[in-house]
């Protein structure tokens, strides 16, 4: 551990020691990393006798209700806590409309791993070199000497999902070492990987089949686009939540360097998911459209006619081939 981080962890530990009520915040549209981090902290702080609330402005996705403690996550309440902690949020806006409640506490801490982090708290623990926020939580909770089997299992889930099951370029020797040390707490790692990473539903399987069969290729098959239209959701009884992960099948095609998934959110409004490889930066593409993310996985929102959106996305990708 670097000296600077030890000092930062000490200041976090001190802030926690001085607080009796603590609120934890995940980002909007919560993923497994942000929820795992919040719930790991929830268990850790509970073990210290703290009164802890876990807040998210959106409901926990069905697939992540398996996480230990997921039932305690609620919408932000009108309460003032001694301390608030945001996990996996690269800016105040990522907390959603709960930002006022986050700022209302006497002290604020942010723990994050995004390159795009914009400081918004009294104490910031930022490490952009790690695959997941869970890796930072592992070091913090170990520093505080309150690791347990439940916490280890949650952090392992966060690492598995944010690293694409140890496949993204953000994965280092350290990621595997952390995962190995977490596994020594004795949970069923294969079950965690199945539950949070591999498990699918018949409806989602049907949606993937529809969308993948209509995949379009451009620029000598170096760019690929899949599209989730409202009619695809209707025909398979699925929703936006079921679009997660399908794009991986597309970026895995050997010739494809940039893969886009365009998902219809409402009339003329689309959620864009971007994956890249061969040195092309997905977050750089997303930023062209006001979005953000990581080097290999990023996203943004675009409004307008579908055909115009395709043209814009193709142009930006072609410029980077």
> How many C-beta neighbours within 10 Å does residue 72 have?
16
**What is the Cα Rg of the chain in Å?**
20
> Per CB under 5 A, which region of 33-41, 42-50, 65-73, 236-244 contacts Mn ion?
33-41
| Cα separation, 174 vs 113, whole angstroms | 15
What sign does the dihedral 310-311-316-318 (CA atoms) show? Answer: positive
Residue 112 engages Mn ion in binding (rule: CB under 5 A): no
State the Cα–Cα distance between residues 298 and 101, nearest whole angstrom: 28
Nearest-approach distance from CB 132 to Mn ion, in angstroms: 5
Report helix angle 149-162 to 133-143, nearest 10.
160
Binds Mn ion (CB under 5 A): choice among 16, 39, 133, 154:
133
Query: In angstroms, what is the minimal distance from the CB of 113 to Mn ion?
Result: 6
Sheet with 292-293: strands ordered across: 216-218, 223-228, 258-266, 269-276, 297-303, 292-293
Name the residue with the smallest CB distance to Mn ion.
33
Taking the least distance from each CB to Mn ion, the nearer of 31 and 264 is 31
* Residue 33 binds to Mn ion (criterion: CB under 5 A): yes
| Cβ-based nearer residue to Mn ion, 53 or 162 | 162
- Cβ distance to Mn ion smaller for residue 128 or 230: 128
Binding mask 157-176 for Mn ion (x = CB under 5 A): -----x--------------
Q: C-beta of 133: minimal distance to Mn ion in Å?
A: 5
Q: What span, in angstroms and rounded, lies between the C-alpha atoms of 88 and 16? A: 18
244 or 314: CB nearest Mn ion: 244
Residues that bind Mn ion (CB under 5 A): 33, 88, 133, 162
């Amino acid at each position: 551990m670097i000296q600077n981080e030890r000092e930062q962890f000490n200041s976090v530990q001190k802030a926690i020691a001085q607080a009796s009520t603590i609120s934890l915040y995940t980002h909007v549209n919560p993923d497994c990393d942000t929820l795992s981090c919040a719930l790991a902290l929830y268990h850790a702080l509970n073990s210290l006798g703290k009164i802890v609330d876990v807040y998210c402005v959106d409901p926990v996705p069905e697939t992540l209700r398996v996480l230990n403690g997921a039932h305690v996550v609620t919408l932000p309440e009108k309460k003032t806590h001694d301390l608030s902690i945001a996990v996996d949020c690269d800016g105040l806006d990522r907390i959603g409309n709960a930002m006022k409640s986050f700022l209302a506490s006497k002290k604020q801490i942010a723990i994050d791993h995004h390159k795009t982090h914009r400081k918004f708290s009294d104490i910031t623990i930022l490490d952009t070199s790690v695959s997941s926020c869970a890796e930072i939580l592992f070091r913090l909770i170990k520093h505080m000497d309150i690791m347990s089997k439940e916490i280890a299992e949650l952090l392992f889930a966060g690492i598995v999902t944010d690293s694409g099951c140890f496949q993204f370029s953000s994965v280092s020797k350290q990621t595997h070492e952390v995962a190995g040390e977490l596994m020594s707490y004795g949970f069923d790692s294969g079950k965690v990987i199945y539950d949070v990473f591999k498990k699918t539903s018949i409806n989602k399987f049907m949606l993937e089949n529809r969308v993948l069969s209509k995949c379009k290729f451009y620029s000598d098959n170096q760019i690929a686009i899949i599209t989730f239209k409202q009619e695809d959701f209707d025909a398979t009884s699925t929703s936006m939540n079921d679009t997660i992960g399908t794009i991986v099948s597309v970026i895995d095609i050997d010739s494809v360097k940039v893969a886009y998934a365009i998902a219809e959110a409402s009339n003329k409004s689309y959620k864009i998911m971007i994956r890249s490889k061969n040195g092309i930066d997905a977050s750089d593409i997303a930023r062209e459209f006001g979005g953000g993310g990581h080097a290999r996985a990023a996203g943004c929102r675009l409004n307008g006619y579908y055909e115009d959106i395709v043209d814009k996305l193709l142009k930006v990708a072609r410029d980077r081939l």
